[in-house]
Amino acid sequence: MNKRDTSLTPPSVIDSAPLMADETSRRKVSQIATPSDAKPLAFERDDVAAFLDHLFRMKGDPAYLRASRSLFQLPPGATPIDDSYALEEIQAILASGGEKTLWAACMRVAKARCRGQNPRSTAERYRRKCEKENISSTNRCVDSKDS
C-alpha cells in the first residue's frame, strides 16, 4: 500500500494548509482593493514561517525548519554601499581643481577613507559610480589612471 501515514499529524495541521492558502489569497486581493487597510507582505511571510516552524515541531522534519529560516535570509548579492559623501567630496575636489582627472580624485578620496588598506578597488568603485552619475572632470581624460 502506498497510502501516506498521517497518524502523526493532527487533523488541525492537515486541515489548516488550505485555510492558510485562502487567507493569503484573500490578503492579496484586499491589497489590490484597499492598499491602506491591507496587511503588508512581511506579515504573510511571518505567518508562513510560523506555520513551517509549527510543522517542524509537529513532525520533526528539519526540512520544515530550513524552509522557515530561508524565508528571512538576505537576498542574494552584495549589499549596496552608500558612497554619497565620497562622491560629493570627489565632485568638490574636481570643481576646485584639486586634481586634474577623475581617477586621481577618486584615488585621493579612497586613500583618505581606506587607511591601511589598498585603495585601488575602492577608487575603482568610486569611478564607476561617478561615471554612472555623470560626474567627471571638466572635459578631461576620464580613463587616465596616473596616480
For residue 147, pLDDT over 50 is answered with: no
Long-range residue pairs from 44-51, CB within 8 A, at least 24 positions apart, any chain: 45/71, 45/72, 47/20, 47/23, 48/20, 48/24, 51/16, 51/20
**C-beta separation of 51 from 20 below 8 A:** yes
Q: Give the chain's length.
A: 147
pLDDT at 39: 55
Q: How many whole angstroms separate alpha carbon 29 and alpha carbon 38? A: 9
What does the pLDDT look like over 49-60, one tens digit per residue? 888 889 999 999
